[in-house]
Amino acid sequence: MHANNPYALITGGSSGIGLELARLFAMDGHNLILVARNSGGLRKAVAELKEFDVDVILMSADFFGEGTAFNVFAEVKRLSLQVDILVNNAGQGQYGFFKDTDINRELAIINLNISSLVVLTKLFLKDMLIRRSGKILNIAGMVNEPPAPCQAIYCATKAFVESFTQALRKEVTEDGITVTALLPGPTNTDFFNKAGIENVHHLQSKELLADPAIVARCGYDALMRGEGKVLAGCTTEMIADISL
């Protein structure tokens, strides 16, 4: 293990785009802190990453709950780990007309997709600013370009993430910090099942969905090149089709 190598903290790092990003960071020698709700998924992720000679630390955390992001940061501090790269990847949605959907779940999604991301970004950014180095990758989405019916809350949260990311990038561009937004199109992950979209007829063919490994590579390369924003995966026309 290379304990002195920098750590990349990835939320939602046990599967999908998050896990593929973890592979890319590990391949380049970055130690990892993987944060996710599912402890079983985290253990499976470690098994898949053991071929890389890096340290992998697991943190089971539910960002639906208030205060969880503060607790994750406190645990990183307790372990005396230096996070040089923050990847805010965790996110969920809920499919259905806004008039029919569960408001409590929507509030939890807002906490996950927005509040937790903002807290983690602020806390880790302060340390990065002291060192005058660091990278932040926020996963937004093409779904907010244009907004998608039946995903009103999810699309709005991802529009926030993109706007927040671009504003923050301009604030810290002279401070040695890279801030990048990855905007994936519909991708072959468990997102649709969790959001209750798995029965939409366009999703019966996985060929219509982007490969999470390819999406992750686009985001990783953009971050390492210092770019502000990158689109990866399907077109906005495809998103519109899936949304109805």
Active site residue 154: yes
Catalytic residue among 7, 95, 154, 220: 154
Query: Any idea where the domains of the chain sit in the sequence?
Result: 7-243
Whole-prediction pTM:
0.86
For the residues 10-30, what does the mean pLDDT come to? 94
Cα dist from 27 to 38, 55, 241, whole Å: 24, 12, 36
Q: State what percent of residues in the chain have pLDDT above 90.
A: 64
Protein fold of 7-243: Rossmann fold (3.40.50)
- The pLDDT tens digits for 107-159 are 999 999 999 999 999 999 999 999 999 999 999 987 656 667 888 999 899 99
Least confident window among 18-22, 29-33, 69-73, 200-204? 200-204
Structure confidence at residue 195 (pLDDT) = 44
For the residues 158-173, what does the mean pLDDT come to? 96
Q: Which contacts qualify for 122-126: CB closer than 8 Å, 24 or more apart?
A: 123/69, 123/70, 123/73, 124/9, 124/73, 124/83, 124/86, 125/86, 125/168, 125/172, 125/177
More reliable by pLDDT, 170 or 50: 170
Structure confidence at residue 211 (pLDDT) = 85
